[in-house]
């Protein structure tokens, strides 16, 4: 008894002592029992391309680096079938299916789920977007309508930009560029148990496209902050803030003896800012809910916008005015992911939005539109071989129209590596504010536009596709090929010479055109050198045709108007205009052939060389009249040579030289006037040094 008692005491004493010891020396066994947060939540995991409901191109970090591109619009050259043009360096035009005016309304552009497709023009302010290319993790581009999963305006496609996580930056990085471009950026981030953050600040500037013709120099200051806070294993709160302030040259040099409204050289300015708050909650059964709120604000000033073409042509100061365009979007959204077992996942939710625009030269008043939408998307693995994606979105566009956009696709894996997908998808595009609400007395476009005579309806698209996706791991190769037919209806088009009583013969907008796009897109990717070197090639064949689906207002006007042609009726002039300028030329709105090739090769551990080849046939975008030079075919080669200066993993330093248009290919650019369309994209080069610390 005594012995037992003392043993117990001894054991307790030992236990006490060893507790302390054990924790110092051998605590690792606890790892087997530790509870862990759900890190790779449903919304973090993206669908593999072979199971996604639509054709998708992913531009990842290594492609971004290899391309040498400094902006998102240029990166879009790596997307099969994407049109990339520049009205000038500060006004990129990015659109799937080529057909676009300068505003390229028909795509959704998201940054971390936040739409930057802004009122009143329904476009993206690419130049002053508060986003640094260095902060992009990847860009997922959906080629085709995708309202069911990406919401409103996902019409021809979606550019979904995903920035790096707050935790992806642990330490600092400085980068400086000299040569054609002068860029500077500092990035710093810290990862800790409860809070991660990254902060980037930078300056980006260059001389523009071709200073013999354009005044399009630019300088943008940018700041971006992202913090993520994990108060519990189930919750993640994230805050993103960003802003930009930029100065952008504007103006096109005149032809000798001619003055144009665009010809006055001046500096425009714009400021952008945004806040994005996300709360992600994981329910116990791996379901999750995501609540987001965002505010996006943009203000753009032009000190000398031409408001009266006649006076501007005489360089009369009264022909010009200061333009201020303010736009704002607030959006509140909820998205839930619910798994019905292992093989069925439902994503559903909704959001409400407030779009605000104030532009005194465009509208008589400020406008606010309040759309809402609800959506559901189900991904069902019917068997190990078949995946059915089915979904839809119901949207009220806040402009008296309610639409439902369904989608369905079936992916069938004939073998785990060989997949065939058939799909049908629809989407709508609501009229942009300026199309719907432009005031009768507006001067923004020099008095060239008047309000629509009848209210505009949303545009509709229905896309049908069949695709093949093959993986050949033994060859290091993947192949993605698809054929599609996209039918577009009720396209909002220029209602020409809508008011015969107005001496400047202004245009308006009306649902007028039906178009059909057919295409065949192929992407081949090949990797070697243990995956370090790669080649990614795209080739696209496409065609487009259009017909009138509505009647232009003056199409049948029998009156004779002297100014146009005293021998013809007004309506006949209008009819001839549609035939010559739009319908006959529509096939040129897409290049018959286009493609790209990006090759990246490691040479030893220090050198990396990459080469981009971009080609495109002749193309003429939507609002270019037939007497303007179309964009000639492009055969452009860019090259990037990078050397890592430090062998150690830490304190990495890299110097990279980029030369664009190495062979000085003489291709022309987007332009609505000959002077704008004709200049070549000249060769340019810059050197970038990056040091991580």
Partner 1 sequence: MIKLLFICFLIAFVNAAQAAPLRVAVLADDAPPFKEFMQLLQQEIDRQALPIMLNSYAADAESADLILAVGVKSATLAVKTRLPVLTVLVSKVTADALLLQQPRKNTAAIYLDQPLARQVALLEAIFPHLQKVGILNADDSADRAELKHLLRSKKLKLLQQTLTPELSLANALEALLPSVEVLLALPDTLIYSSQNIRFILLSAYRNRVPLIGFSRNYVAAGALAAVFSTSTQIATQTAFTLVAFANNRSLMASQYPQDFDVLMNTQVARALNIPLQDTAQLKKQLKLHLFAGGASNE
Residues at the interface with partner 1 (CB under 8 A): 3-4, 7-8, 11-12, 14-15, 18-19, 21-22, 25-42, 44-48, 50-51, 137, 165, 167-168, 170-171, 191-193, 230, 286, 339, 342-343, 345, 384, 416, 471, 473-474, 530-532, 648-650
Minimal distance, residue 690 CB to partner 1, in Å: 14
Query: Quick one: tokens of 608?
Result: 């990396």
Residue with tokens 């009229």: 431
Minimal distance, residue 375 CB to partner 1, in Å: 20
Spatial neighbors of 525 by CB under 8 A, at least 6 apart, are: 477, 478, 534, 535, 536, 537
Question: With respect to partner 1, which residue has the nearer C-beta, 258 or 530?
Answer: 530
d(CA 613, CA 592): 17
d(CA 110, CA 88): 23
d(CA 638, CA 619): 21
CB neighbours of residue 234 within 10 Å: 15
Minimal distance, residue 473 CB to partner 1, in Å: 6
Question: With respect to partner 1, which residue has the nearer C-beta, 27 or 604?
Answer: 27
Q: Could you tell me which of 330, 331, 333 has the C-alpha nearest to residue 289?
A: 333
**347 and 361 Cβ atoms separated by less than 8 Å:** no
Question: With respect to partner 1, which residue has the nearer C-beta, 33 or 212?
Answer: 33
Question: With respect to partner 1, which residue has the nearer C-beta, 23 or 580?
Answer: 23
DSSP states along 512-562: EEEEEEEEEEEEEEEEETTTTEEEEEEEEEEEEEEEESS--TTTT---B-T
* β-strand partners of 173: 187, 692
Minimal distance, residue 612 CB to partner 1, in Å: 21
Question: With respect to partner 1, which residue has the nearer C-beta, 189 or 246?
Answer: 189
Q: For the chain, count helices (H), then strands (E).
A: 8, 30
CB neighbours of residue 287 within 10 Å: 16
Question: With respect to partner 1, which residue has the nearer C-beta, 341 or 558?
Answer: 341
Question: With respect to partner 1, which residue has the nearer C-beta, 123 or 411?
Answer: 411
Minimal distance, residue 169 CB to partner 1, in Å: 8
Please state the length of the chain: 693
Minimal distance, residue 170 CB to partner 1, in Å: 4
d(CA 128, CA 121): 15
The pairing of strands 402-415 and 157-163 is: unpaired
**128 and 59 Cβ atoms separated by less than 8 Å:** no
Minimal distance, residue 165 CB to partner 1, in Å: 6
Question: With respect to partner 1, which residue has the nearer C-beta, 97 or 230?
Answer: 230
Residue with tokens 């590596």: 417
Minimal distance, residue 205 CB to partner 1, in Å: 30
Minimal distance, residue 56 CB to partner 1, in Å: 13
Question: With respect to partner 1, which residue has the nearer C-beta, 255 or 532?
Answer: 532
Minimal distance, residue 33 CB to partner 1, in Å: 5
Question: With respect to partner 1, which residue has the nearer C-beta, 16 or 212?
Answer: 16
Inter-CA distances, 438 with 235, 305, 369, 444, Å: 45, 17, 14, 9
């Amino acid at each position: 008894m005594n012995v037992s008692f003392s043993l117990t005491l001894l054991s307790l004493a030992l236990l006490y002592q060893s507790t302390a010891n054990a924790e110092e020396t051998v605590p690792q066994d606890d790892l087997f029992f530790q509870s862990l947060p759900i890190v790779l939540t449903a919304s973090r995991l993206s669908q593999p391309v072979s199971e996604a409901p639509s054709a998708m191109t992913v531009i990842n970090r290594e492609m971004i680096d290899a391309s040498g591109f400094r902006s998102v619009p240029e990166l879009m050259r790596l997307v099969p079938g994407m049109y990339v043009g520049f009205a000038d360096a500060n006004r990129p035009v990015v659109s799937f299916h080529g057909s676009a005016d300068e505003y390229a309304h028909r795509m959704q552009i998201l940054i971390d789920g936040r739409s930057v497709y802004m009122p009143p023009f329904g476009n993206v302010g690419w130049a002053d977007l508060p986003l640094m290319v260095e902060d992009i993790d990847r860009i997922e581009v959906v080629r085709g309508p995708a309202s069911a999963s990406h919401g409103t305006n996902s019409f021809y496609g979606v550019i979904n930009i995903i920035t790096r996580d707050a935790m992806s930056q642990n330490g600092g990085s400085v980068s400086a560029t000299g040569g054609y471009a002068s860029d500077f950026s500092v990035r710093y981030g810290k990862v800790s148990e409860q809070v991660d953050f990254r902060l980037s600040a930078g300056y980006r500037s260059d001389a523009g496209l071709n200073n013999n013709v354009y005044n399009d120099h630019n300088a943008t200051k940018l700041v971006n902050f992202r913090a993520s806070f994990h108060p519990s294993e189930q919750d993640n709160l994230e805050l993103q803030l960003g802003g930009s302030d930029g100065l952008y040259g504007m103006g096109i040099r005149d032809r000798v003896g001619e003055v144009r409204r665009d010809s006055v050289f001046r500096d425009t300015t714009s400021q952008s800012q945004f806040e994005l708050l996300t709360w992600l909650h994981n329910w116990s059964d791996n379901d999750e809910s995501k609540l987001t709120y965002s505010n996006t604000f943009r203000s753009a000033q032009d000190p000398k916008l031409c408001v009266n073409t006649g006076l501007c042509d005489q360089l009369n100061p009264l022909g010009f005015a200061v333009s201020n365009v303010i736009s704002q979007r607030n959006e509140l959204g909820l998205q839930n992911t619910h798994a019905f077992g292992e093989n069925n996942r439902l994503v559903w939710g909704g959001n409400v939005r407030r779009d605000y625009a104030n532009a005194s030269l465009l509208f008589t008043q400020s406008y606010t539109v309040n759309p809402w939408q609800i959506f559901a998307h189900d991904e069902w693995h019917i068997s190990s071989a078949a995946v059915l994606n089915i979904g839809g979105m119901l949207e009220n566009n806040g402009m008296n129209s309610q639409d439902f956009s369904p989608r369905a696709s079936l992916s069938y894996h004939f073998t785990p590596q060989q997949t065939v997908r058939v799909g049908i998808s629809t989407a709508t595009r609501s009229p942009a504010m300026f199309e719907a609400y432009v005031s009768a007395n507006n001067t923004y476009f020099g008095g060239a536009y008047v309000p629509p005579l009848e209210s505009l309806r949303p545009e509709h698209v229905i896309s049908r596709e069949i695709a093949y996706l093959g993986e050949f791991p033994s060859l290091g190769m993947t192949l993605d090929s698809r054929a599609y037919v996209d039918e577009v209806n009720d396209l909002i088009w220029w209602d020409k010479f809508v008011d015969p009583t107005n001496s400047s013969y202004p245009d308006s907008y009306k649902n007028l055109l039906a178009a059909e796009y057919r295409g065949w897109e192929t992407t081949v990717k090949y990797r070697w050198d243990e995956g370090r070197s790669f080649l990614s090639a795209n080739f696209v064949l496409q065609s487009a045709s259009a017909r009138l689906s509505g009647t232009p207002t003056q199409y049948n006007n029998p009156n004779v108007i002297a100014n146009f042609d005293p021998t013809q009726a007004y309506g006949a002039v209008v009819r001839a205009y549609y035939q010559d300028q739009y319908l006959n030329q529509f096939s040129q709105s897409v290049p018959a052939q286009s493609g790209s090739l990006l090759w990246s090769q490691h040479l030893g551990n220090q050198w990396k060389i990459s080469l981009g080849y971009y080609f495109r046939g002749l193309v003429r975008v939507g609002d270019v009249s037939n007497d303007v030079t179309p964009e000639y075919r492009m055969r452009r080669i860019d090259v990037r040579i990078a050397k890592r200066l430090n062998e150690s993993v830490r304190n990495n330093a890299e110097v990279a030289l980029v030369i664009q248009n190495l062979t000085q290919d003489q291709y022309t650019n987007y332009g609505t006037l000959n002077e704008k369309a004709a200049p070549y994209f000249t060769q340019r080069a810059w050197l970038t040094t990056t040091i991580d610390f």
